[in-house]
Amino acid sequence: MGKVLGLMGNEAVAYAVKQSNVDVIAAYPITPQTIIVERLSEFVANGELDAAFVPVESEHSALSCCVGASLAGARVFTASASQGIALMFEITFIASSMRCPIVMAIVNRAFSAPINIHCSHDDTVALRDASWVHLISESVQEAYDNAIQAFKIAEDSRVLLPTSISLDGFILSHCLERIEVLDNKVVSDFLPPRKAEYKLDPEKPITFGPLALQDYYFEFKRQQEEAMRNALSVVKEVGKKYGEISGRTYGTVKKFMTDDADVVLVCMGTVAGTARVVARSLRKEGKKVGVLSIRLFRPFPAQDVVEALRNAKAVAVIDRSSAPGCIGGPLFEDICTALYDLPEKPLTYNIIAGLGGRDITPEHIKQIYNTGYKYIKEGKVLEKVLWVGVR
């Protein structure tokens, strides 16, 4: 079953997209673009992938091109990061509102200025309200696995929403990892060619993207909300089915020693691995700590989060992006909202860390757990938002 390869995150995503038999790839090639689309253009050029590769003049055009191709019934992929995502912003809402199941890889990179290109989650969290399904990867393996599942989720008739897969810039995108890839045939069986129920077809003319004013706009937004609610179960369903072909089953969150934990650290992306290493060593010292890694950022799996955190005494949430002027980072606000209805709530505090690719070290994690114990001892949160690792 499958084979083992040494691939960088970028290459792993490109490999998965190739195996997913996409029809159209549209991308803008210049920074902050990554090697993902460069590899795909090579696959198309050397005949390994039978797809149209459209090199466009901006990310705004890249996603616009994807919208058109998706409405024509194609399986569509694009990738971008930071400023590219910012430039796409207008079209991200159009893509979801027109119900285009586009898959996009977001290599998480910090928003300018200053120009940075290293890891922050700014780009993904900026799209939190854009009605996209957002999957987060912790490793190169997960980036590969998420890419294949993303098409299945996006194209499900109960969902029909664009889906992003995020991977931490450089930490995953440019790091070589041992990964297991599936056989082409296994992926093709898992992902048969897309059959769009509605598409641009001269034989059966229909209209996409008309005007809807006070009379109908509201109803279309309600439909999107329903699709998002459906996505929650579709993500779980697909994660389970993917487990059957790969041996790697996916849910919405990943729990690590949370059941009896006093302090649970909640995070997204690669920092979860560091946190688990630290949690394991603190457990040896008798400290009951755990880690909750969020794999599905949108739709937000509130129920699963509450189930995992309900017994904790303190919950630390790491945001790898800052939201100046907000109560805390975007993930923190989600977690607090999810926990609000619990009769007995854990103490909650927010950590802003790792901005612009700054390492989040085991020492930082230890400090975060210790803060939790301090708050538990005091019986209250002394400081709600802590910037860890900043000078």
Q: Examine residue 32 and say whether the peptide bond preceding it is cis (omega within 30 degrees of 0).
A: yes
DSSP state of 57: S
Does 207 contact other proteins by CB under 8 A? yes
Does 223 contact other proteins by CB under 8 A? yes
Stretch 110-149 residues interacting with other proteins (CB under 8 A): none
What's the closest the beta carbon of residue 201 comes to other proteins, in angstroms?
12
Phi/psi of residue 304, nearest 5 degrees: -65, -35
Q: Which of 87, 208, 370, 389 binds other proteins (CB under 8 A)?
A: 208
Asked if 14 contacts 78 with a C-beta cutoff of 8 angstroms, the reply is: no
Does 210 contact other proteins by CB under 8 A? yes
What's the closest the beta carbon of residue 124 comes to other proteins, in angstroms?
23
Q: Which of 192, 198, 229, 240 binds other proteins (CB under 8 A)?
A: 198
Does 194 contact other proteins by CB under 8 A? no
Count CB-CB contacts under 10 A for residue 4: 9
User: Which among 5-13, 75-83, 201-209, 267-275 is the span making contact with other proteins, rule CB under 8 A?
Assistant: 201-209
Does 98 contact other proteins by CB under 8 A? yes
Does 229 contact other proteins by CB under 8 A? no
Query: Residue 369: which residues within 8 A CB-CB, separation 6 or more?
Result: 263, 265, 278, 279, 282, 287, 289, 316
Does 203 contact other proteins by CB under 8 A? no
Does 249 contact other proteins by CB under 8 A? no
321 by Cβ neighbours in 10 Å (0-12 / 13-18 / 19+) ranks as buried
Q: Which of 203, 219, 244, 260 binds other proteins (CB under 8 A)?
A: 219
Q: Which two tokens stand for residue 67?
A: 């919208």
Does 216 contact other proteins by CB under 8 A? yes
**In b/e form, how buried is each residue of 36-65, taking b as 16+ CB within 10 angstroms?**
bbebbbebbeeeebebebbebeebbbbbbb
Residue ranges binding other proteins (CB under 8 A): 97-99, 160, 198, 205-210, 212, 215-216, 219-220, 222-223, 226-227
